[in-house]
Structure 1
Amino acid sequence: MRVMVLVKATEDSEKGFTPTPETMTAMEAMGRFNDELRAAGIFVMADGLQPSSAGKRVAFDGADRSVKDGPFPHPGELVAGFWLWDVKDMDEAVAWVKRCPNPMPGPSEIEIRPFHGLGDLQTG
């Protein structure tokens, strides 16, 4: 089962990454966690995202398109980074997330979302 593991943004992450001794220590801990994921055979890919101020949103309304520049409001509803994992089930994904170092300096949240399977897309 493939899952997308989403690290939710915070007000701090929306300010951008600043290399400090604390952030570098956190990055090293996350690197070790990624190594554990690789060793377990569930790591597919991962990356961090720049703050929403570097992004754009394209809104669709029928044939019309409009583009909105970041930053976007509500940091807790944004994504700061992600993993793609191949796990046996949601319980395994939750167990791994519980082992993850806190991805932010303060309170943070990680969301796990399964991908659709081929059977999910069939009609009839």
Structure 2
Amino acid sequence: MRFMLIVKASPQSEAGVMPSEKLLTDMGNYNEELAKAGVLLAGEGLHPSAKGARVIFSAAGRSVVDGPFADTKSLVAGFWLIKVKSKEEAIEWVKRCPNPMEGEAEIEIRQVFETEDFGAALTPDLKLQEERLRRQADAGR
């Protein structure tokens, strides 16, 4: 099972406050633990929403809204993608994580859909396409 661990933004991360050397060291050590355990697939921090944009989809088309975005609690400051056996194992990994904000912080745990989760809607042709795209993405790493 794959899980995305979503680090929620804070007023400090949205203000562009960079992590301390200690936090970078602690996070590096945590990432090394994830990698050594064979569960780490990806993980990155994100720039503040002021440097981002949103594309809004509607019946009339698409529009672009530049950041910053107001509701800090709904914003993402970083993420990990891990592969573990269960949600409980993902929770245990998150509990071991250094506090990502050096203050109050929140990490949301969300399971990633796998191809078999889509049932009959994922036709054999669509499944082949998905497999081909995953191989291409893996080759690009």
One fold, TM greater than 0.5?
yes
Secondary structure class of the residue paired with 1:5: strand
Deviations 1:12-71 (A, max 9, x none): 10011336xxx1111110000000001111001100000000000000002511100100
Q: Distance in 2 between matches of 1:46 and 1:90?
A: 18
Aligned to 1:113: 110
Q: TM-score, length-normalised on structure 1?
A: 0.93
SS at match of 2:73: helix
TM-score by length of 2: 0.82
Q: In the alignment, which residue of structure 2 is the partner of 1:78?
A: 75
Stretch of structure 1 that moved more, 59-68 or 100-109: 59-68
Aligned to 1:5: 5
Deviation at 1:120, TM superposition (A): 1.9
Looking at structure 1, the residues matched to 43 and 57 of structure 2 have their Cα atoms a distance apart, in angstroms, of 28
Secondary structure of 2:24's partner? helix
CA distance in 1, matches of 2:5, 2:59: 31
1:19-38 correspondence runs (5 A)? 23-38=20-35
Query: Whose RCO is larger (CA < 8 A, sep 6+)?
Result: 1
Considering only aligned residues, what root-mean-square deviation do their CA atoms show, in Å?
1.3
Structure number having the greater helix percentage: 2
Instruction: Identify unmatched segments of 5+ residues in structure 2.
Output: 122-141
Query: 1:58 is matched with which residue?
Result: 55
1-side partners of 2:18 and 2:96: how far apart?
25
Pick which of 58-67 and 101-110 moved more.
Answer: 58-67
Task: List 4+ stretches of structure 1 deviating above 6 A.
Answer: none
Are 2:43 and 1:43 equivalent residues in the alignment?
no
Which residue of structure 1 aligns with residue 18 of structure 2? 18
Shift in Å, 1:76: 1.2
Structure 1: 5+ residue stretches without partners? none
Count, aligned residues: 121
Q: Which residue of 2 aligns with 1:88?
A: 85
SS at match of 2:36: helix
Identify which of 98, 101, 104 aligns with 2:98: 101
